[in-house]
Amino acid sequence: MSELKHRFITTNGIQMHIAEQGEGPLVVLCHGFPESWYSWRHQLKALADAGYHAVAPDQRGYGQTDKPEAIDQYTQLHLVGDIVGLVDALGDETAVVVGHDWGAPVAWNTALLRPDRFRGVAALSVPYTPRGPAAPLPTLKAIFGDMFFYILYFQEPGKAEAELEADVRTTMRKTLYSASGSIPAPTTMPTPRPKEGTGFLTTMTDPAELPAWLTEADLDYFTAEFTRTGFRGGLNWYRNMDRSWEMMAPWNGAKLHVPALFITGDRDPVLSFGGAGVQALKENVPNLRESIMLPGVGHWTQQENPAAVNATLIAFIKSLR
C-alpha cells in the first residue's frame, strides 16, 4: 500500500505544494474555496488503491503554494497554466483532471483549452457554463442591486479578509457547516439582505457540534492553514472574474468535448443560482458520460459522501481509453 507524500514542484513560474499517493495514470485533484489539498484526503488513497497516481495541489494562493502579490496573477489562464505545468513537471503526457467548487472551472477550462493533454474531466458542484456575451460582475450587480451577494462583497481588497481572518476557526466551522447537507433544511427562502452591515458570515450557523463528516482534526488543519496564510489568495480568484472573461474571448460559447463526469448534491446551495447550468450540461458538454446528484449532500461533495464520490469517480476514469 502506497503512502501519502508531500513535495514541491515548479510550474508556470511558481512553487507549488502537492500531496500525492499511488502509481499509475495521473489524476489531478483541484480544490475550491476556502479549502486546500486536504479536501481530497478521502480520494487520494482510494485512487491510489485503484491503480492511479493521485495528485492534489495547494492551488495558487493557497496553503504552501506561492501567493503572488498582484491581484491580476489569479486569472483562469494562470490557473490552467499551473495545472498544465504540474503535469509537465510530473513527466506525464496526459492526465484526468478533477475539480470541486472553484476547482471545477479550473478543471473545465483545463480540459477546454488543452484537450490534447487531458483525457477526461470530472467536476463537482459547479457545472460547465460557456463564456457568455456579458461580463460576470456587471451582470451580478444588475441582478442584486443594493442587496448583498457574496461574490460582489469579495471584490473590495481587504474587506472580506478582515471579516474572515478575525476568528479563522469560527469562519471555517460556520462555512463548512452552513453550506453542507448537515444543516437543517430551511422552511422558507432566505430573505435578501442589504449590503450595509452584512458580511459573508452574517447569517451562517455555528453548530453546537460538528457533523459526522467533519472532525475536530479536520477543522484543526483548515484553521492552521488559513491562520498562517490568510484568505487573500483565494479571494483573488473572485477578483479576476471579469479579467478571466475578457481573456477567454476566443472561447466564447465554446462547447467542451472531452469525456466528462459531473457530481453534485441535492442540497448544494450552488443549485439555487447554478441549476440552469446543470440542466444545460449535456448541451454544453456533448461527451458528458454521467451527471450524478447525491441525496442529502451539500456543497462539500467529496468530503460529505466520499464513498459515493470515490466509486463514481473511479468508474468514470476506468471507462476512459
- Quick check: 1 pLDDT over 70? no
pLDDT of residue 188: 57
CA angle at 276 for the pair 147 and 258, rounded to the nearest 5°: 125
Residue 217, number of CB atoms within 10 A of its CB? 7
pLDDT band with cut points at 50, 70 and 90 for residue 190: low
Average pLDDT over residues 189-210: 88
Percent pLDDT > 70 in the chain is: 98
The per-residue pLDDT for range 128-151, each reduced to its tens digit, is: 999 999 999 999 999 999 999 999
pLDDT of residue 275: 78
The per-residue pLDDT for range 222-269, each reduced to its tens digit, is: 999 999 999 999 999 999 999 999 999 999 999 999 999 999 999 999
Q: How many CA atoms lie within 13 A of 112 on its CB side?
A: 25
**Which residue reads 474555496 in cell numbers?**
33
pLDDT band with cut points at 50, 70 and 90 for residue 202: very high
With beta carbons less than 8 A apart as the criterion, state whether 126 and 105 touch: yes
Active-site amino acid positions: 101, 299
The CATH number covering residue 295 comes to 3.40.50.1820
For the chain, the domain total comes to: 1
Which 8-state DSSP code applies to residue 58? P
Expressed as residue numbers, the domain containing 28 is: 5-319
- Least confident range from 65-74, 92-101, 253-262, 264-273: namely 264-273
